[in-house]
Amino acid sequence: MSRFENSLDFARRCDAADPLRLLREEFYFPVFGDQPAVYFAGNSLGLQPRSTQDYIVDDLEDWANLGVEGHFHARHPWFRYQDFLTDQLAQLLGAKPVEVVSMGSLTSNLHLLLVSFYRPTSKRYKIMVEYDAFPSDLYAVETQARYHGFDPEDAVIYLQPREGEHTLRHEDILASIREHGESLATVMLGAVNYYTGQFFDLAGITTAAHAVGATCGFNLAHATGNVPLSLHAWNVDYACFCSYKYLNAGPGGVSGIFVHERFADDAALPRLAGWWGNDPDSRFKMPRNFTPARGARSWQQSNAPVFSMAALRASLDVFSKAGMMEPLRRKSLELTGYLEYIITQVNRQHQIPPVTIITPSEPARRGCQLSMIVRPNGRKVFEALQAHGVIVDWREPDVIRAAPVPLYNSFEDVYRFGQLLESALGG
């Protein structure tokens, strides 16, 4: 017998027993009619923490009152603003502080990292990526190959699921790495695939890449703040992440990077240098020659985008209240499991099940996102959900993505989603 029940009473009992339930009050929810929307779109844009405005206003006031002196005398001095984020980000990434820095934007950071870790030769020049990676990742690896004089049709290896399947098998990824080993320069995957929600075995992939002499990195846009990460222990070479999805730092929020500690003192490793990546002890001496800061900081180019970082700081403080990823992961497993159960119950009301979940059913292979093929009339179902206060997203040709985020979503949200999904399906 299932441990779940498709009832409002059950959902409310789960919420009453949830030790993280009060975190929901830390966020603003869009309102539909007289109640909060069912917001399952944190995989696209996280909700705004209520404290964000106060954090940003503090820095606006310091700018107003101090002008340029705010770089050193603001309540959170701008000169080292990225440092206020480092420890919490390192905890979320399973990294050491020297390996992490908040900086720039997501795809720009990916390009900066590929400059350093995609070092093709005439024999070892290929890049491996998912076939259905987010378009920015595809554009990045294709243009990097072309920039180095290679034809992307030859240089980019696209991993595709087996015929009739929606997700990649781990053994197939490893087999492809071995197959292309002598020509493989780097593996660069989305740690959690944006479309299917599949969470890859990053440790196993990294080990396999290193075994054939390739570097290995990941785009953590859909992973950071969603799934447990141990980048240092897994020996990952490089990674980038954004902050506007599960990290709730607002649209276009500041990005960040991870570079493993073993490269921390490697001044010879090529990188596109900028002033903010210079050793901070000599930065304001305006040296003509670049002396890299230690660790990931040396990849910084420009000074900190303070207001965007203030928004991220506000959200990271909510993560700290939650106890970081371990308690959030426990709730996520329950919340996502309940959503899977509710969708199964909806399907049972129909002779031909209208919803197919393409996200892996094994909890270890997914975060909080479930991607669903809805047939027939998936687009109409999506629009009907929207019209009744459900905020999810649509991906062509027939996929609805729903992400119950443990920081702010509830079991009652999941129950309400099921009721509205059934109504939208015409059951």
pLDDT tens-place string over residues 298-319: 999 999 999 999 999 999 999 9
Residues 6+ apart with CB under 8 A from 74: 59, 62, 63, 66
Q: Are 64 and 146 in the same domain?
A: yes
Residue 1 in domain: no
Q: Are 257 and 120 in the same domain?
A: yes
Quote the domain boundaries for residue 419: 8-36+324-424
Residue 209 in domain: yes
Taken in order 67, 69, 72, 73, the sign of the CA dihedral is negative
Last residue of a domain, one of 320, 343, 374: 320
Structure token digits, residue 138? 């595809």
Question: Residue 420 pairs with which residues in a beta bridge?
Answer: none
Q: What is the pLDDT of residue 1?
A: 38
Name the strand (E) or helix (H) holding 357.
Answer: strand 355-357
Q: Rounded to whole angstroms, how far apart are CA atoms 347 and 374?
A: 11
Last residue of a domain, one of 320, 354, 386: 320
Q: Are 265 and 229 in the same domain?
A: yes
Residue 164 in domain: yes
Q: Are 66 and 211 in the same domain?
A: yes
Q: Rounded to whole angstroms, how far apart are CA atoms 368 and 330?
A: 11
| Domain total in the chain | 2
Q: What is the pLDDT of residue 286?
A: 87
What's 62's domain CATH number?
A: 3.40.640.10
What's the predicted TM-score (pTM) here? 0.94
DSSP H helices, 388-425, are 411-424
Q: Are 386 and 406 in the same domain?
A: yes
Q: How do residues 122-150 score in pLDDT, each as one tens digit?
A: 999 999 999 999 999 999 999 999 999 99
Q: Are 67 and 211 in the same domain?
A: yes
Q: E strands, 221-338, where?
A: 238-241, 256-259
Residue 73 in domain: yes
Q: Are 215 and 345 in the same domain?
A: no
Q: Are 92 and 159 in the same domain?
A: yes
Q: Are 364 and 221 in the same domain?
A: no
Helices then strands, each counted (H, E), the chain: 14, 15
Q: Which amino acid belongs to residue 351?
A: Q
Classify 73 in phi/psi space as left (phi over 0), alpha (psi -120 to 50) or beta.
Answer: alpha
Among residues 183, 116, 108, the alpha carbon closest in space to that of 139 is found at: 108
Q: Rounded to whole angstroms, how far apart are CA atoms 118 and 184?
A: 10
Q: Are 315 and 410 in the same domain?
A: no
Residues 6+ apart with CB under 8 A from 323: none
Residue 23 in domain: yes
Q: Which residues of the chain have pLDDT under 50?
A: 1
Q: What is the pLDDT of residue 296?
A: 96
Last residue of a domain, one of 320, 353, 371: 320
Q: Are 28 and 101 in the same domain?
A: no
Q: Rounded to whole angstroms, how far apart are CA atoms 213 and 204?
A: 15
What's 372's domain CATH number?
A: 3.90.1150.10
Residue 49 in domain: no
Residue 273 in domain: yes
Q: Are 178 and 288 in the same domain?
A: yes
Residue 130 in domain: yes
